[in-house]
Amino acid sequence: MINIDLSLQTIALKSRLERCWQLSAEKIMLIERQYAPSQGAPVFTREGRYTTRGWTEWTQGFQYGAAVLQYDATGDAAFLDMGKRSTVSVMAPHISHTGVHDHGFNNISTYGNLLRLMTEGKIPFNEWEQHFYMLALKISGAVQAARWTPLPDGGFMYSFNGPHSLFVDTIRSCRILAVSHALGHVLQGEGDLRINLLARALQHARSTAAYSIYYGEGRDTYDEWGRTAHECIFNTKDGRFRSPNAQQGFSGFTTWTRGLAWAMCGFSELLEFLPLADDATLDTRGGREQVEAMLLKAATATCDFYLQHTPADGIPYWDTGAPGLARLGNYLDRPADPFNKEEPVDSSAAAIGAQGLLRLGHYLQQKGEREKGARYWQAGLTVCNTLLAEPYLSTDPAHQGLLLHSIYHRPNGWDYVPAGSNIPYGESSMWGDYHLRELALYVQRVMNGEPYYAFFNCVP
């Protein structure tokens, strides 16, 4: 389990954060100069150079959002110009994309971050520009919400696999619905039926909490507090749950750690948003107390599972049930080894999960549970401290990635395996790089006493 550094303070990360942003700038410019946009969205690196992988273009918002975060952290206007220009010229199809569950990734990272900077006063106010970002976010939230499978007890936004498929990843797309609702928008359906977007987001969160997360309550033989299933399969005729499944994990009965991390971060963010939610909407979902209890249980369970099933330095292997882990001995009692011969680590899961730990810890401390919250907070800082140094921080000036040892799709064998190795290592992903930047910005803002970084800060 993670060896939590209880004495670590944000100020101790100052030099590492500065180095991270320096390297980040170099990597963004390297991609800008060397990557051909005609290839499609960059997804992951192969021998240090970004390449694409035809599935969906869910990483494009991370590419251009990275430049916006770079400006936020450093004040370098060249990156703001780059982020704005790319968002306007490239991101429009992602607003109306009806075929994916990724709106909360692509559009919050671009339009959302730009609107947030204006709302926070970090870029000049411009009424038409503000309305441009707001309209994009309103429509994106409604389009995402329309991808809906009803269940007898609610429903969910289905994955690109089809109406039978609930992905745990999609919990972080709920924030685009929350923002759209907060901006005053609705999804208008047949007969001009007005569908409340926040209510739909909470329905999805409830389905994810009920089916994708386990609580040690005996659902199956492998039920354990906080375990997650990447995909849940439903009978679309009657809405019945059929089985857990995995697309990118080892199996439906093991925990793919990036999916776990999405749940940690997504549920913690929704908890933070809850004070902004209107009582009328929450009352349709059982009331504020019931909604908060559901979100808190899911966030706590997944964060606890991460703490228990991750090596001492806070970097997880790609799946907690990966078969080669049995040959690594007591791997949880020592730092993760990205160069081992059995199973790869996934640093991107750590970058996402660390933010979930920090946000849950902050939330609990704000609610008065200081000791409990401090444990998650310090765990998040511990993971962040590991990621901001080698061998995870990429210092090779020729390597286009920022965060090394990220894994995309181990079962499909998509990740690059170096000569002489049994496993992939040494490569980066667009989501891993983006979430390291997001994590670094979060910690830096806390360290500097700046406004707390949250997705809903974009709401004027």
Structure confidence at residue 154 (pLDDT): 94
Q: Is residue 387 part of a domain?
A: yes
- pLDDT at residue 403, as a whole number: 98
- Domain assignment present for residue 2? The answer is no
Kindly tell me if the per-residue pLDDT of 56 is higher than 90. no
Task: Give the integer Cα–Cα distance in Å for 383 and 13.
Answer: 12
Residues 231-244, mean pLDDT to the nearest whole number: 97
Contact by Cβ (8 Å): 179, 458: yes
Question: Where in the sequence is the domain holding 344, given as residue range(s)?
Answer: 10-458
d(CA 156, CA 170): 9
Q: Is residue 5 part of a domain?
A: no
Where do runs of H (alpha helix) occur along 244-369?
Answer: 257-273, 279-284, 288-308, 347-366
Q: Is 54 exposed, middle or buried (0-12, 13-18, 19+ CB in 10 A)?
A: exposed
List, for residues 156-208, the tens digit of each pLDDT value.
Answer: 999 999 999 999 999 999 999 999 999 999 999 999 999 999 999 999 999 99
**Looking at the domain assignment, is residue 4 inside a domain?**
no
Domain count within the chain = 1
Both structure tokens of 170: 């999609």
Indicate if the pLDDT at residue 53 is higher than 90: no
Handedness of CA 198, 202, 207, 213 (dihedral sign): positive
In a domain, 1, yes or no: no
**Does residue 388 contact residue 16 with C-beta atoms inside 8 Å?**
yes
pLDDT mean over 240-257: 97
Written as six digits, the tokens of 254 are: 């093991």
Question: Does 34 score more than 90 pLDDT?
Answer: yes
Tens-digit pLDDT profile for residues 96-136: 999 999 999 999 999 999 999 999 999 999 999 999 999 99
**Whether the Cβ atoms of residue 83 and residue 29 lie closer than 8 Å to each other:** no
- Domain assignment of residue 343, yes or no: yes
Block residue for tokens 């059929």: 242
* pLDDT beyond 80 at 259: yes
Give per-residue pLDDT as tens, 310-337: 999 999 999 999 999 999 999 999 999 9
Phi, psi of 40 (to 5 degrees): 105, -170
Q: How confident is the model at residue 55 (pLDDT cuts 50, 70, 90)?
A: confident
Task: Tell me what pLDDT residue 116 has.
Answer: 98
pLDDT at 383: 98
Share of the chain above pLDDT 90, in %: 98
Domain annotation covers residue 148: yes
Residues sharing a CB contact under 8 Å with residue 64, sequence separation 6 or more, in sequence order: 82, 83, 86, 87, 90, 91, 109, 110
Q: Judge residue 193's burial from the number of C-beta atoms within 10 Å of its C-beta, 0-12 exposed, 13-18 middle, 19 or more buried.
A: exposed
Percent above pLDDT 70 for the chain? 100
For residues 3-12, give the mean pLDDT.
Answer: 98
Three-state DSSP class for residue 332: helix
Q: Would the pLDDT of 446 be above 90?
A: yes
Q: In what order do the strands lie in the sheet with 165-167?
A: 165-167, 231-234, 241-245
Cβ–Cβ under 8 Å, residues 439 and 387: yes
pTM for this entry: 0.98
- In three-state secondary structure terms, 198 is helix
- Which residue type, as a one-letter code, is found at position 21? W
For 242-247, the CB contacts below 8 A with 24+ separation are 244/220, 246/411, 247/161, 247/167, 247/411
CATH number at residue 141: 1.50.10.10
Q: What is the DSSP string of 88-155?
A: HHHSHHHHS--S-S-HHHHHIIIIIHHHHHHHTTSS---HHHHHHHHHHHHHHHHHHHTSEEEETTEE
According to the model, what pLDDT value does residue 326 have?
A: 97
Question: Would 3 be classed as within a structural domain?
Answer: no
Give residue 435's pLDDT.
98
**Mean predicted lDDT score pLDDT of the chain:** 97
User: Torsion-angle region of residue 223: left (phi > 0), alpha (psi -120 to 50) or beta?
Assistant: beta
- pLDDT category at 276 given cuts 50, 70, 90 is very high
